[in-house]
Amino acid sequence: MASTSTLEQFNVFFKKYSRFIALAVALVLPLFLSPRWVHTFIVAFYYMIVALSWNLCAGYTGQFSFGHHAFSAVGAYAAGLLAYYYGLPPAAGIIVGGIAAVPIGFVLGGVSLRTRGPYLALTTWAFAECLNIVLRNEYEITGGTKGLLIPTLFPRGTSKLYYYYVGLFLFAVVLILVYKLVKSRIGLYMAAIRDDVDVAEAMGVDTVKWKVLVFTFSSFLAGLGGAFYAYYIGLISPSLATMGEMVMVMIIVLFGGMGTLEGTIIGGIFIMLISEFLRGIMPGISLLFFSAVIIILIRFFRGGLIELIRKLIAGFSSSPSVAETGMKNISVEG
Amino acid sequence: MLPSPSILLQYLVIGLSMGLVYALMGLGLTLILGVMKLLNFAHGEFYMLGGYINYYLITSFGAPVYLAVPLSILSTALIGMAVERLTIRPMYFVEKPGDYVLVVTFALSIFFKQLALTLFGPFFKKPPDYLPGILEFGPVRISGNLFVALIVSVAVIFGVIVILRKTYVGRAWRAMAQNVIVAKLSGVNVYRMNMYVFGLSTATAAAAGVFLTSIYLLFPDAGVFPLIKGYIIIAIGGMGSIGGSLIGGIVLGLVETFGSAFIATEYKDIFGFILLILFLTIRPRGILGEKLELVGG
């Protein structure tokens, strides 16, 4: 039985310090990676920020938006165009990108969340397609299909490590914000809305108000991510507002596990590595692959990777306490 | 400056006929929405698929038009039924299927688009003209292709109404639209009826695709805007009623035609979106305003 107890000790230790271990790994890891993989992780930070904001809507509140990538595109374009035409310093531009997405999120959410039904999915999806058309057509301002070269966060040619740490910082801030929100009273409202709108209303939750506010906040986060991404790659183009981006965001959340924060992190890293691997085989195949995987995941593994890991942990250490806490986590968070 | 009455009449006719053709997309969505309580985000991809099958039957296999058109509509319907059987039917047995089904159809849409991109390439294709040239009815001129599309769409809408009113399947569908549980209790095989209605719906999408691609061309993303229009139509007209999709289609067709004539041609597709936002703000239930218990509500 000695081995079980060490495993248990390890479990307790891991539970207590896992976030610090993860942070330490995230801080040290890029120093040993080639620029290509550092790039992969920077892009992963962008997708994970947008994925967190989508998870806030879909996973925690049960409101499915099909246009979150459009909010990040709005953030990217607002930040990029202001920097390009008016010389806005990029550091301020990231915040501006987030703020730019707020009114759009508020209007779309406010209009479509008042009525029940799939209006949000429909409206955000139509908005994303229309945004794409506008970005392509207004080529005198946006540079049309080929996009616009905008100033980057650091002068061109600087090491990617700087971007990595900025991305990590931004992601950590977003993660903490989302965590605080989910654990707050508002988080309970969100869970109530997701689980049963009627009951939530009967208990006195102003469902429409909280749905709209959470959606607006999540569009702010998506805009933030988009602005960071634009300042990293130094290019804004309508491809930011294509449905393929939405698939990436969805697969990250679904693969990791909806309605959990750990799931989004694990899913983000896994999916970006798989996507990088697939790119080597055949460009363009990843979307085909991921959309098929989404269908399979929803059919068979709706808890995602995180549930699988929890089950494994619960199965390995036969002590019921761990299994119970695992179940508790699932019932609270997902 | 107001244009002359004959030009206005011209726009009116074009707008009306475009509206009736759009109504075909709205009709397919309405069928699925009413019977299956499902919003199908992959509907536009069946439009695209029907167009591609028709195109390749005609150009690669040299099939005559009168053979290629029914064949492509039929095969798209079969693909649709297979898709429903494999990906959507299993979703009825999981808990809280509502929003997850939306994500499944969304993923299906991306899957088919990407598949078309891989198989057929990103290039624009055009099926041969069904009726070349331009027809003149007094002061009104209308392109032959649009005229054919108009005739077909009126015929299809009429056919669907007949099916709904006169056949066993149609009665079963209407029963399911009213109350699935009671329909089940009365001995309707609900799952099979779902598959059939999905097939009929994809067939209407394919019919739209076959005839509209001669006007709007064929490419992997071809189905996106017809689908958006379909949704705008049912949101304007009132979800779940065929009359609503007709009215919504005509409103949208008129708004688009006059908007692109007098405001900006390149934003033809945006007017509908503005209309959608307006309707959601002012009258969220649409013109006919039928109340419908939707999935994901």
Chunk chain A into consecutive blocks of 10 residues (it has 334) and report each block's average pLDDT, rounded to whole numbers: 65 76 84 87 94 93 91 94 89 91 94 83 89 87 85 82 92 94 93 90 91 95 94 91 90 90 91 88 84 89 84 69 44 39
Cβ within 8 Å, pair B267-A294: no
> Is A30 contained in some domain?
no
| A108 and A247 both lie in a single domain | no
Query: Maximum distance among all alpha carbons in chain A?
Result: 72
Stretch 61-120 of chain B: residues touching chain A, C-beta under 8 Å? 87, 90-91, 94, 99-100, 102-104, 106-111, 113-115, 117-118
* Structure tokens that stand for A176 in this block: 């903490």
Give the model's pLDDT for residue A315: 76
| B209 and B293 both lie in a single domain | no
| B215 and B233 both lie in a single domain | no
CA distance B33 to B89: 15
Mutate which: A291, A296, A301, A331, vs B, most B CBs within 10 A:
A291
| A279 and A151 both lie in a single domain | no
Residue A118 contacts B, CB cutoff 8 Å: yes
Give the model's pLDDT for residue A318: 54
> Is A285 contained in some domain?
yes
Nearest by CB: B107 against A126, A291, A302: A291
3-state secondary structure of B164: helix
| B100 and B193 both lie in a single domain | yes
CA distance A139 to A137: 5
Residue located via tokens 């997701």:
A194
| DSSP strand pairing (A235-236 vs B134-137) | unpaired
Nearest by CB: B108 against A114, A118, A295: A295
| B65 and B103 both lie in a single domain | yes
| A147 and A263 both lie in a single domain | no
User: DSSP label at A4?
Assistant: H
* Structure tokens that stand for A211 in this block: 């749905």
CA distance B181 to B190: 9
> Is B174 contained in some domain?
no
* Structure tokens that stand for B137 in this block: 């009815």
Give 3-state DSSP helix, strand, coil % of chain A, rounded to 5. 85, 0, 15
Polymer length in residues for chain A: 334
Mean pLDDT of B11-30: 87
> Is B286 contained in some domain?
yes
> Is A8 contained in some domain?
no
Short-list B186, B46, B64, CA closest to B127:
B64
> Is A233 contained in some domain?
yes
Ramachandran area for residue B189 (φ above 0: left; ψ -120 to 50: alpha; else beta): beta
Domain range spanning residue A218?
A: 35-241
Query: Angle between the A243-256 and A304-316 helix axes, to the nearest 10 degrees?
Result: 10
CA distance A249 to A246: 5
Mutate which: B106, B109, B281, B291, vs A, most A CBs within 10 A:
B106
| A100 and A163 both lie in a single domain | yes
Q: Residues of B with CB below 8 A from A284's CB? A: 114, 117-118
| Number of domain units in chain A | 2
Nearest CA to CA, how far is B184 from chain A (Å)?
A: 24
- Higher-pLDDT residue of B286, A42: A42
* Residue B291 pLDDT grade (very low, low, confident, very high; cuts 50, 70, 90): low
Cβ within 8 Å, pair B280-A247: no
| A102 and A250 both lie in a single domain | no
pLDDT tens digit string along B71-130? 999 999 999 999 999 998 888 877 777 778 888 999 999 999 999 998 998 889 888 888
Which chain A residue lies closest to B294 (C-alpha atoms)?
A117
Nearest CA to CA, how far is B227 from chain A (Å)?
A: 9
> Is B184 contained in some domain?
no
Q: Residues of B with CB below 8 A from A65's CB? A: none
Which chain A residue lies closest to B292 (C-alpha atoms)?
A117
* A36: enclosing H helix or E strand: helix A35-55
* Structure tokens that stand for A280 in this block: 């080597």
Domain range spanning residue B285?
A: 224-297
Give the number of A-B residue pairs with CB atoms closer than 8 Å. 119
CA distance B12 to A265: 54
Nearest CA to CA, how far is A69 from chain B (Å)?
A: 14
| B37 and B104 both lie in a single domain | yes
Tell me the DSSP string of A172-232: HHHHHHHHHHHHSHHHHHHHHHHH-HHHHHHTT--HHHHHHHHHHHHHHHHHHHHHHHHHH
| B206 and B230 both lie in a single domain | no
Mutate which: B88, B280, B285, B292, vs A, most A CBs within 10 A:
B280
| A204 and A68 both lie in a single domain | yes
> Is B5 contained in some domain?
no
Which chain B residue lies closest to A113 (C-alpha atoms)?
B280
Cβ within 8 Å, pair B273-A125: no
* Residue B18 pLDDT grade (very low, low, confident, very high; cuts 50, 70, 90): confident
> Is B173 contained in some domain?
no
C-beta neighbour count of B182 within 10 angstroms: 11
> Is A28 contained in some domain?
no
C-beta neighbour count of A173 within 10 angstroms: 13
Short-list B64, B31, B8, CA closest to B205:
B31
> Is A12 contained in some domain?
no
Nearest by CB: B111 against A127, A292, A298: A292
Mutate which: B85, B103, B109, vs A, most A CBs within 10 A:
B103
Task: Give me the sign of the Cα torsion angle B183, B187, B191, B196.
Answer: negative
Q: Residues of B with CB below 8 A from A247's CB? A: 107, 110
Mean pLDDT of B157-179: 90
Which chain A residue lies closest to B114 (C-alpha atoms)?
A288
| B196 and B286 both lie in a single domain | no
Q: Cβ neighbours of residue A253 under 8 Å, at least 6 residues apart?
A: A51, A54, A55, A58, A59, A263, A264, A267, A304
Short-list A117, A128, A107, CA closest to B234:
A117
Which chain B residue lies closest to A293 (C-alpha atoms)?
B107
* Structure tokens that stand for B260 in this block: 């692109």
3-state secondary structure of B143: strand
Q: Residues of A with CB below 8 A from B41's CB? A: 66, 121, 125
| CA dist B6 → A270, B138, B229 (Å) | 62, 10, 28
Nearest by CB: A121 against B102, B225, B232: B102
| B117 and B98 both lie in a single domain | yes
Nearest CA to CA, how far is B138 from chain A (Å)?
A: 36
| A45 and A174 both lie in a single domain | yes
Please check whether residue A122 is in contact with residue B38, taking contact to mean a CB–CB distance below 8 angstroms.
no
Residue located via tokens 């806005």:
A88
Short-list B72, B91, B60, CA closest to B205:
B72
| A198 and A304 both lie in a single domain | no
| Number of domain units in chain B | 2
> Is A2 contained in some domain?
no
Please check whether residue A96 is in contact with residue A227, taking contact to mean a CB–CB distance below 8 angstroms.
yes
| B122 and B155 both lie in a single domain | yes
| A179 and A257 both lie in a single domain | no
Query: Maximum distance among all alpha carbons in chain B?
Result: 63
C-beta neighbour count of B222 within 10 angstroms: 24
Stretch 71-100 of chain A: residues touching chain B, C-beta under 8 Å? none
| A226 and A262 both lie in a single domain | no
- pTM higher than 0.90: no
Q: How far is CA B276 from the centre of its chain?
A: 17
